[in-house]
Structure 1
């Protein structure tokens, strides 16, 4: 079985408070984009896990795909499988690629072995793997709260827009990002902000991590400004960085030029 775990972008991101368990509560709109990894799962005589494409740090046994398989195996008699992940979505970019890989592993195993798990059940498994993993079970736009794993549907359709995502090759760890931020409740309502015209978002829809990380990594505000200069209706860093995206009405411009070591993705939403 072959599938293509996709990335997401954050439309606004507010870190509202630190939790007693050490995590943080947040408010954000998660929106899926079509920048994808490739994941294949096949029944096998013995358990096997391969990674190709972008180099993934850490030992294979710590990968979220394998953790997802072992998590389901605790409750179901799963046979050995051969998992092959081809990594395309950059890591440390705020795009949720690893979370998507984990959630798609759960989804694919559910289908492959006819476990008949509901989306609610799959989300509960996904929450055990990472804060935003559960989003990729349904893979639809939502307002995310608490740890980023409690969802409210949002009526938001950006199908008339294209997205340009720019990853400048800067790996920002979650610990680094959250270590430099001061939680604060926003004086706005995400649902109301997203109902406004996209051209207004520039002034009202913020990512709290930008204030903390832009002075440390000047490439990031430079990318954001370049996207606006190219005609983006809205531009922002996604997640805790370091990828920055721009939303363009219709087709994205072809004349955007960035350094060769930057990873660029363009596509329709």
Structure 2
């Protein structure tokens, strides 16, 4: 079985309050985007489950990879035979794109289908929530308003169809814990759901990511990407999650040569939505 775990972007991200447990209540809309890893799951040749990773370097041993954690978590719920898993990493890590979370969620979905386990999406999402805050989103993998710590979902009525997305991940990464540490939680005047119901041409100045005010001064290269996106004519641009990737939404096609030149040294993805 071959699967293609995709990335996500955040349309707005409001940090509402710090919780007694140390986490934060947030509000954001997550949207799937077609920047994908490649995940293959096959019956094991041996008696143990294995994970082989290629492509972009992942700085963790196989047993600590979210893919293996997903297999182990599902095996605690149902009996699973051993499998060999092959993961080709294409989505950059430390980008706010949810690549590792997508790999874990697609592992759960793939195992559920491969072995006809019959687990519902809601049950898979419960298991995924134990792996990380973004993981359950990729079980549903459709536009969702995410609340709580990011694990409570309501379908979001928003479409980016016809737009071109450009995502740029600079060489630097932003540690999530550090990004949260320097934010100031607050309740916005207009909730995100109310803003994204407007035409996208009205999002700028209204739809915000609360990580940007602290991340941009600490990582000027990230801020520069957003400025360059605006210079290229993006109708809306934002950092995704806690960074360090920045995306731009364009109502016109963008030439690959232009992107390569403008964002030299960064990982760049573009696609029609």
State TM-score, norm by structure 1.
0.97
Cα displacement string for residues 108-146 of structure 1 (whole angstroms, at most 9, x for unaligned residues): 000001100011111111111100100001100011101
Question: Which of the residues 138, 161, 168 maps onto 1:136?
Answer: 138
* Structure-1 separation of matches of 2:110 and 2:237: 33
1:190 maps to: 192
Question: Which of the residues 158, 161, 164 maps onto 1:159?
Answer: 161
**Cα contact 2:168–2:263 (8 A) shared by 1:** no
Secondary structure of residue in 1 paired with 2:265: coil
**Cα contact 1:131–1:147 (8 A) shared by 2:** yes
When residues 253 and 204 of structure 1 are mapped into structure 2, their CA distance, relative to the original with a 3 A threshold, is farther
2:268 maps to: 264
Cα displacement string for residues 212-243 of structure 1 (whole angstroms, at most 9, x for unaligned residues): 01011111121111111111000000000000
**Cα contact 1:65–1:105 (8 A) shared by 2:** yes
1:96 maps to: 98
* Structure-2 separation of matches of 1:230 and 1:135: 31
2:182 maps to: 180
Q: List aligned pairs for 1:212-227, cutoff 5 A.
A: 212-227=214-229
* Structure-1 separation of matches of 2:263 and 2:237: 19
Cα displacement string for residues 193-221 of structure 1 (whole angstroms, at most 9, x for unaligned residues): 00111111111000000000101111112
* Structure-1 separation of matches of 2:250 and 2:20: 40
1:37 maps to: 37
How many residue pairs get matched? 269
Unpaired runs of at least 5, structure 2: none
| Greater mean alpha carbon deviation, residues 101-110 or residues 184-193 | 184-193
**Cα contact 1:230–1:253 (8 A) shared by 2:** no
* Structure-2 separation of matches of 1:253 and 1:156: 26
Question: Which of the residues 92, 114, 117 maps onto 2:116?
Answer: 114
1:49 maps to: 51
State TM-score, norm by structure 2.
0.96
* Structure-2 separation of matches of 1:261 and 1:189: 36
Unpaired runs of at least 5, structure 1: none
| Greater mean alpha carbon deviation, residues 194-203 or residues 233-242 | 194-203
Cα displacement string for residues 177-203 of structure 1 (whole angstroms, at most 9, x for unaligned residues): 111111111111222100111111111
Secondary structure of residue in 1 paired with 2:167: strand
**Cα contact 2:163–2:249 (8 A) shared by 1:** yes
